[in-house]
Structure 1
Amino acid sequence: MSDLKYLSAYSPDVKSQVQNLIDQDRLGDFLLKKYPTAHQITTDGALRDYAMDLKNRFIKKSPPLSKVIYDKKIHVVNNALGLHTYVSRVQGGKLKSKNELRVSDMFRKAPEEFLNMIVVHELAHLKEKDHNKAFYKLCEHMLPDYHQLEFEMRLYLTHVEMAGAIY
């Protein structure tokens, strides 16, 4: 059985089904059938517009974002697909804070559904810092099939690690 590190929290039954797809060399076909094309959001400016549209649609009253970029330093090996950072600085007599959203550069050429899931996840951290029930409820509010997409994104990561990019 392959090391299914991206699926470690799932049941043995689910992991067995995924392993069967891998053994039959059908995981890539499954993903390509469901997600046939990569998105066109390839620049930092386009990513910022995309994230701001989602933010304005679902969480208008959350703190503003000062930066939204693809980041080449973020890699799944470090268990991160995106980062939300909150930086506080003292400027003069005032405390200034900045929120930044960074998405792993590997998602520059991924299906839009996976990019959407990652951006939603990071935007949810503007309101909920921890991965708690309220956090996941907010993710589901912004993206009703959030959990299914998270699972399929884990399948995508498994496939990319084993066979290289599919797009």
Structure 2
Amino acid sequence: MQHLKYLSAYPAALQDKVRRLIAEQQLGAYLADKYPQRHTVQTDRALYEYVADLKREFLRSGPAIDKVIYDSKLDVLRHALGLHTTISRVQGGKLKAKKEIRIASLFKEGAPEFLQMIVVHELAHLKENDHNKAFYRLCEFMQPGYHQTEFDLRLYLTHRELVREQSA
């Protein structure tokens, strides 16, 4: 039985359906049919604007974001897809906090829904630190269908890993 590390928290019956798709070599086709588009947000500057637009639309009262970048190391470090950080620095006797969002650079090639899901997730952390009910309600508010998109993103990561293993 194939271990599905990105789907380990899901029910066994759902994992079995995914295993069948993999065995029938249909997972890639399923994802391509459901997510045929690729986004055009390719630079750090465009990503910053994209994040700022979503923040303006849904979190006007949230803290300012100082930096948003694609990070090529995120895929490897901590198995994170996105990361939000607060960096504190002393400037002249005052403590300044800067908010940063880093998105794994593998999402430069993905569907717009996947990029939006990662950004929404990181923006939600500006209001809710923990992955609690309020956090997921906020994610669902900013991106209706958030949970399904998160599941499909996990399918995408599974497929991506399988393709890499087969080509190695």
TM-score category, normalised to shorter length: over 0.9
Q: How far 1:130 moved relative to its partner?
A: 1.1
Q: 1:50 to 1:111 in 2, by over 3 A?
A: same
In structure 1, C-alpha distance between the alignment counterparts of 2:126 and 2:78, rounded to whole Å? 22
In structure 1, C-alpha distance between the alignment counterparts of 2:44 and 2:77, rounded to whole Å? 22
Q: How far 1:79 moved relative to its partner?
A: 2.4
* TM-align CA RMSD: 1.1
Q: What percent of counterpart residues are identical? A: 57
Q: How far 1:78 moved relative to its partner?
A: 2.9
Give the structure 1 partner of residue 142 of structure 2: 142
Amino acid at match of 2:163: A
Q: What's the TM-score once normalised by structure 1's chain length? A: 0.95
Give the structure 2 partner of residue 96 of structure 1: 96
Q: What's the TM-score once normalised by structure 2's chain length? A: 0.95
In structure 2, C-alpha distance between the alignment counterparts of 1:66 and 1:20, rounded to whole Å? 44
Gaps of 5+ in 2: none
Q: 1:116 to 1:76 in 2, by over 3 A?
A: farther
Runs of 4 or more off by more than 4 Å in structure 1?
Answer: none
Q: Tell me how many residue pairs correspond in the alignment.
A: 164
Cα deviation 1:122-156 (Å, max 9, x = unaligned)? 00111111111111111111011110000000000
In structure 2, C-alpha distance between the alignment counterparts of 1:75 and 1:58, rounded to whole Å? 27
Q: 1:76 to 1:141 in 2, by over 3 A?
A: farther
Deviates more, 1:71-80 or 1:29-38: 71-80
